[in-house]
Amino acid sequence: MLSGQMPILILKEGTQREQGKNAQKSNIEAAKAIADAIRTTLGPKGMDKMLVDSIGDIVISNDGATILKEMDVDHPTAKMIVEVAKAQDVSVGDGTTSAVVLAGEFLKQAESLLEQGVHSTVITNGYRLAMNEVKKYLDELAIKADDEKSLIRVAETSLSGKNAGFSNSILSELVVKAVNLVAEERNGKISVDSSNIKVDKKNGGSVNDTQLINGLVIDKERVHPKMPNVVNNAKIALVDSALEIKKTEIEAKVQITDPSKIHEFLDQESDTFKKMVEKVKKSKANVLMSQKGIDDLAQHYLAKEGIYAVRRVKKSDMEKLAKATGATIVTNLDDLNEKSLGKAEKVEEKKIGDDRMTFVTGCANPKAVSILIRGATEHVVSEIERSLNDAIRVVSITKEDAKVLPGGGAIEAELASRIRGFANKVGGREQLAIEAFARALEVIPRTLAENAGMDPINTLIQLKAEHEKGNRNFGIDVEGNKISDSIKRGVFDPLKVKKHAFEGALEVATMILRIDDVIASKKSGGGESPGGGMPGGMGGMGGMGGMPPY
């Protein structure tokens, strides 16, 4: 700069900004903090987290996606890592903890290379080369699993380590039965829409009381006590309209001056409801499910005709009822006829815990089913629900593509061994990055061993030795505190889940590595930093939902 020349100011004075190595270090530290927060939950012997919000409500879980969703995260890079867990959960339903732990480890290994002077572009190139090889190896190492026993093993692997652990085998069989019932074959390929499996929960009883209903459970009771409690050979009408007299949108008054006209007015109203009920009766329906309301007078007439009626049924439940019973949802009572009715062997009201629920069972060819979860407390049933939803998704995926990989860290150990061999062929600085990628993969077996109380270093040495001998299915046996063949033990991970976890973790890691400048944007308001006004411009995690002081 020439003497006397004023400096050019681009950013406002006081703008929070981090550049170069400081920005990279801050971002990597934030990502590592998130990964470290949930790595103790990984595996069958993983621990749970208790998340407490500002009003004292608690969530107890070891599901990575649930924990990260509930945590109050401030740092922008940490939020990117949380997004990986969300994407994994939405796409494949499981493997969220693995994806986040891997992302944190990719960045941790990259950090040591950055300190040695290796450029971040070289690291990301090396990581991508390694990932391309991983995809080839995954397809090569995948095992066919299209029988029921394999599906049960996949469900058991998903459920292990969750609070459902004690009832693993019972719940696994329920999940596989449910998936088999809703699976459909289209153009020679099996397709499973996991949303057709409705998971309901009720406190009370034990987890072993959880049951699969060959039909649906609706969390509603009959609208009138004089209606039949049980309807056999049910013919079900699904109506998306109210059995009520519509109110005018403008304010209106009805003035009756002659007392004798009051009866006429009431009779007319009564006739309207009689006609509505007559239309239902004419269709030969003996069960009515309405998405809207049912007037008290209409309830009375329905009860007189012996029709079981339920009101304000959720739209999603109506759609599932249509699939399960073969009914057509009608929007106008005039369109209701015998052809639009669905069929079920039985519709009955049962008391579950303190509530009454409607059970629609014995559907001929149900393409929608229910699992009713029981458990001692609300926290138990909520965690079982999360566990079952994960298991349903992974079994559905396995049913569709019938490909699994050995679990227990076996696949990561085998990939690490093969990637090291590949690194020697590449050479140059990329070789360092590819070797770092291989070391990062080993975080999964190492963490599984740590969480099971095993010596992580000795276990990893033994595991490497077995894989060098060609025992590619050997992984961590957390039950026996040793290493053994994961396939023989029946520990399976779906190919799609693993592939998505590797890809998601690598994508976010490379994106973070390429950031060399963090600048507070205009949108942050009031000159705050992107870290939410934390000291030093970029803070860590903001705790867990405003946890109250103890």
Selected catalytic residue, list 66, 77, 96, 157:
96
pLDDT at 240: 92
Question: CB–CB of 289/318 below 8 Å?
Answer: yes
Q: Cα angle vertex 372, ends 370, 373, to 5°?
A: 140
Cα separation of the two ends of the chain: 57
- The average confidence (pLDDT) of the chain is 85
The mean pLDDT value for 22-38 works out to 89
Q: Give the SS3 label for residue 347.
A: strand
pLDDT at 544: 41
pTM: 0.80
CB atoms within 10 A of CB 126: 25
Q: Are residues 426 and 508 in the same domain?
A: yes
Phi, psi of 441 (to 5 degrees): -60, -30
Under the banding of pLDDT at 50, 70 and 90, the label for residue 549 is very low
Domain end point (choices 401, 422, 457) = 401
Higher-scoring residue by pLDDT: 182, 547: 182
Under the banding of pLDDT at 50, 70 and 90, the label for residue 533 is very low
Q: Are residues 252 and 267 in the same domain?
A: yes
pLDDT at 288: 95
Selected catalytic residue, list 390, 398, 477, 493:
390
* Residues 145, 284: Cα–Cα separation, whole Å: 46
**Does residue 391 sit within a domain?**
yes
Q: Are residues 47 and 98 in the same domain?
A: yes
**Does residue 540 sit within a domain?**
no
Query: What share of the chain has pLDDT > 70, as a percent?
Result: 85
Q: Are residues 288 and 230 in the same domain?
A: yes
pLDDT at 94: 87
* Residues 459, 498: Cα–Cα separation, whole Å: 22
Under the banding of pLDDT at 50, 70 and 90, the label for residue 12 is low
Question: CB–CB of 444/423 below 8 Å?
Answer: no
Q: Are residues 223 and 356 in the same domain?
A: yes
Q: Are residues 237 and 342 in the same domain?
A: yes
**Does residue 549 sit within a domain?**
no
pLDDT higher than threshold 90 for residue 54: no
Q: Are residues 122 and 172 in the same domain?
A: no
Q: Are residues 131 and 48 in the same domain?
A: yes
* Residues 85, 391: Cα–Cα separation, whole Å: 16
> How does pLDDT run across 402-422, given as a tens digit for each residue?
999 999 999 999 999 999 999
Phi, psi of 119 (to 5 degrees): -70, 145
Find tokens 């100011």 and name the residue: 9
**Does residue 543 sit within a domain?**
no
The mean pLDDT value for 119-128 works out to 94
Selected catalytic residue, list 97, 325, 398, 447:
97
Phi, psi of 116 (to 5 degrees): -85, 0
CATH of the domain at 309: 3.50.7.10
Selected catalytic residue, list 63, 200, 219, 317:
63
Active-site residue, 510 included: no
Q: Are residues 41 and 84 in the same domain?
A: yes
Q: Are residues 279 and 193 in the same domain?
A: no
**Does residue 545 sit within a domain?**
no
CATH of the domain at 471: 1.10.560.10
Q: Give the SS3 label for residue 181.
A: helix
Active-site residue, 493 included: no
Tokens of 188: 């020679």
Active-site residue, 272 included: no
* Residues 421, 464: Cα–Cα separation, whole Å: 13
**Does residue 59 sit within a domain?**
yes
What one-character-per-residue DSSP string does 447-500 give?
HHHHHTT--HHHHHHHHHHHHHTT-TTEEEETTTTEEEEHHHHT-EEEHHHHHH
**Does residue 282 sit within a domain?**
yes
Question: CB–CB of 423/435 below 8 Å?
Answer: yes
Q: Are residues 203 and 285 in the same domain?
A: no
Look at the chain and report how many structural domains it folds into: 3
**Does residue 350 sit within a domain?**
yes
Q: Are residues 336 and 260 in the same domain?
A: yes
pLDDT at 4: 55
Active-site residue, 200 included: no
pLDDT at 57: 87
pLDDT at 536: 41
Under the banding of pLDDT at 50, 70 and 90, the label for residue 537 is very low
Higher-scoring residue by pLDDT: 272, 463: 463
Which structural domain, as residue segments, surrounds residue 428? 17-143+406-523
